[in-house]
Structure 1
């Protein structure tokens, strides 16, 4: 497994008040199996799809009352240098560069509009072992109330090229590295409840979007948006039974022409 290019989304994890409930939910929805939690690292538990590492779940630390949420990591060859760029370009560090045993070094931060994200400098853990297949990460979008600030920030921190989607009623940008799209940026509209902050929306691939929605609701989660057909796949945004928001997408069921970007 080779190291990811700088700025590429390389890992996702989430803290949960009830990690056993999370394991049951994502095990049924995405077919994940789970390693034993690491006591040394606070019960950090690797999730696998077809035996390949795809994400992790971890119990919330005592006294933490923040809601459950998925967190996306971006690859960096030097977490300390990336942390400096985050500070210099209007971001805020929630966690300074921290070595996680021999696995790697991480940073957690907020971009200027408030969305949290993390940075990962790999050691022996280089990130996703499977992507863009059912049961695995396939995409993410920074969903923001201040698109100008987000569009300025990320290309200053990572080697991103910005492309704007030419659709009148949707404010959407695409971040590319090495000519490959790696991240979207969506402007939040009044369709989003006013109390929803800027956030990174992680997408997981599924075999069937509608069946995934049915499983989410059966397990106590909620449908928040969709399902909707698109040239990229049929997708829906949902929340699990502990409130963590994410999107499920069937990449094989597409409809419509691909949009133009400039």
Structure 2
């Protein structure tokens, strides 16, 4: 599994968007904690999937700055099992006008920490890299031997940005420019492009109105 595409649930606002799911051990406890921290639980925890073998339990929340997301307690569906390969989920960034306020919510809720030595806006959970090494990515520490300590623990980005707080979802592509061309042929609109030190990205809006980022891994030659 790499992502999900579904029609809006009954009773919701019908917004077309890519949503970020945040893994938790106990969705009922996490939803209650989100409310205590000033967030809104826009739909109560509920089982998702067939009776007797639920894919998981989910709650929809909105953080105190207005950014919606989902809390996910895994059942048979653990989440994205492939990432960073072309065509799969790459990263989720919280874009917010107030980074400190965001951390006052997501820190106590999810155990997130942010340190500038990992790069702008990187949020991490201590021990997450060790978890990946034990489970789905046994070579993560060797592969990241030359990056700053703790980078394997990064789970999301929290970046200062103008406008309302929102989650930005990036998908990996092998060739950003070719992917942009293909997206435009299918009716997408290009909103912005950026050539960074480690990636080439394009923010697009699909024909249905959902925004997403196409991200091509493009490290400096000294890294290769």
Secondary structure in structure 2 of the residue aligned to 1:254: coil
Following TM superposition, by how much is the alpha carbon of 1:146 offset from its aligned partner in structure 2, in angstroms? 2.6
Residues 234 and 254, structure 1, Cα contact 8 Å, conserved in 2? no
Give the unaligned 5+ runs of structure 2. Answer: 128-149
Seen in structure 2, the aligned counterparts of structure 1 residues 100 and 62 have a Cα distance that, compared at 3 Å, is: closer
Output one character per residue of 1:130-162: Cα deviation in whole Å (capped at 9) or x when no partner.
001111001110011232211211111002121
Aligned to 2:181: 214
Equivalent runs, 1:156-171 vs 2, <5 Å: 156-164=108-116
Output one character per residue of 1:233-256: Cα deviation in whole Å (capped at 9) or x when no partner.
1111111111101101011x2349
2:181 pairs with 1:181: no
Seen in structure 2, the aligned counterparts of structure 1 residues 162 and 256 have a Cα distance that, compared at 3 Å, is: farther
2:86 pairs with 1:134: yes
Q: Distance in 2 between matches of 1:146 and 1:173?
A: 12
Computed over aligned residues only, the root mean square deviation of the Cα atoms, in angstroms, reads: 2.2
Q: Distance in 1 between matches of 2:117 and 2:222?
A: 13
Q: Distance in 2 between matches of 1:88 and 1:250?
A: 39
Give the unaligned 5+ runs of structure 1. Answer: 1-52
Residues 222 and 239, structure 1, Cα contact 8 Å, conserved in 2? yes
Q: Distance in 2 between matches of 1:122 and 1:63?
A: 24
Residues 175 and 184, structure 1, Cα contact 8 Å, conserved in 2? yes
Q: Distance in 2 between matches of 1:67 and 1:234?
A: 28
Seen in structure 2, the aligned counterparts of structure 1 residues 108 and 61 have a Cα distance that, compared at 3 Å, is: closer
Following TM superposition, by how much is the alpha carbon of 1:257 offset from its aligned partner in structure 2, in angstroms? 9.4
2:195 pairs with 1:229: yes
Secondary structure in structure 2 of the residue aligned to 1:54: coil
2:70 pairs with 1:99: no
Which residue, out of 202, 219, 223, partners 1:254? 219
Residues 103 and 112, structure 2, Cα contact 8 Å, conserved in 1? no
Residues 213 and 236, structure 1, Cα contact 8 Å, conserved in 2? yes
Secondary structure in structure 1 of the residue aligned to 2:4: strand
Seen in structure 2, the aligned counterparts of structure 1 residues 77 and 257 have a Cα distance that, compared at 3 Å, is: farther
Residues 8 and 15, structure 2, Cα contact 8 Å, conserved in 1? no
Seen in structure 2, the aligned counterparts of structure 1 residues 134 and 105 have a Cα distance that, compared at 3 Å, is: same
Secondary structure in structure 2 of the residue aligned to 1:214: helix
Q: How many residues align?
A: 194
| Structure (1 or 2) with the greater helix fraction | 2
Output one character per residue of 1:167-200: Cα deviation in whole Å (capped at 9) or x when no partner.
9xxxx421101241110011113xxxx5xx3210
Q: TM-score, normalised by structure 2?
A: 0.80
Seen in structure 2, the aligned counterparts of structure 1 residues 61 and 154 have a Cα distance that, compared at 3 Å, is: closer
Aligned to 1:147: 99
